[in-house]
Chains A and B, each alone.
Chain A
Amino acid sequence: AQSVSQHNHHVILSEAASLELGCNYSYGGTVNLFWYVQYPGQHLQLLLKYFSGDPLVKGIKGFEAEFIKSKFSFNLRKPSVQWSDTAEYFCAVKVGGGYQKVTFGTGTKLQVIP
């Protein structure tokens, strides 16, 4: 069964710092990859997704993620974080096509200090 690892559980950054959150998955075949975000007091929402094609995926609010197949990674990046990026971020993976369950990572809490 597939699994997802997020090694950073809690990250604290100052505004304007660059962000990179790690995500690694364990499955050797075709995968769909996702990053979800939950802002304080709000619903969990999809930030970006990778299905195929360009391994560099751009999402909302200036976030991007790069799929590196050889490293089984899908790290989330943002060049310059803002206080409003304070949230919990979840990486998720779906194996193959059709209906397959989505497996979530344990989440990373990002705190941006003004």
Chain B
Amino acid sequence: DGGITQSPKYLFRKEGQNVTLSCEQNLNHDAMYWYRQDPGQGLRLIYYSQIVNDFQKGDIAEGYSVSREKKESFPLTVTSAQKNPTAFYLCASSLGQGDQPQHFGDGTRLSIL
């Protein structure tokens, strides 16, 4: 079955450390997204990519970075500059560049040690 795979499911970060969250899709979708979910705040867009080798900042991009070297992969790096990284991170994809997010991964829960 096609879908989105996020790994790891749980991740712990030490102070001053960068960590990378993986997102892989086998749906042949053009667009991919990263959202952050905090209690009582819904989903907030971090970064999105409409096509390979292109990505744009969302609403809360500070302290995060992404790459889109392959169509199926859209990793998110949480840098040490992100002062409040503890959250649930969701990756999503959509077939076309103008579509709404159609498929979501299981998410990665990031915590600070």
Query: Contact at A97–B43, with CB atoms within 8 Å?
Result: no
Tell me what chain A mostly uses at the interface: helix, strand, loop, or mixed: strand
Please give, as numbers and ranges, the residues of chain B lying within 8 Å of A101 by CB-CB distance.
Answer: 45, 48, 58-59
Query: Contact at A34–B98, with CB atoms within 8 Å?
Result: no
Q: In the complex, which residues 28-86 of chain B have their Cβ closer than 8 Å to any Cβ of chain A?
A: 31, 35, 40-45, 48, 50, 58-59
Q: How far is the CA of A49 from the CA of B3 in the complex (A)?
A: 21
B residues with a Cβ closer than 8 A to A are 3-4, 31, 35, 40-45, 48, 50, 58-59, 90, 92, 97-98, 100-106
Of the candidates A9, A43, A92, A102, which one forms a contact with B106 in the assembled complex, judged by CB atoms under 8 Å apart?
Answer: A43
Give the shortest distance, in Å, between B2 (CB) and chain A (any CB).
Answer: 12
Query: 11 interchain pairs (CB within 8 A)?
Result: A4-B42, A34-B100, A43-B3, A44-B104, A92-B100, A98-B98, A99-B31, A101-B58, A101-B59, A102-B101, A106-B40
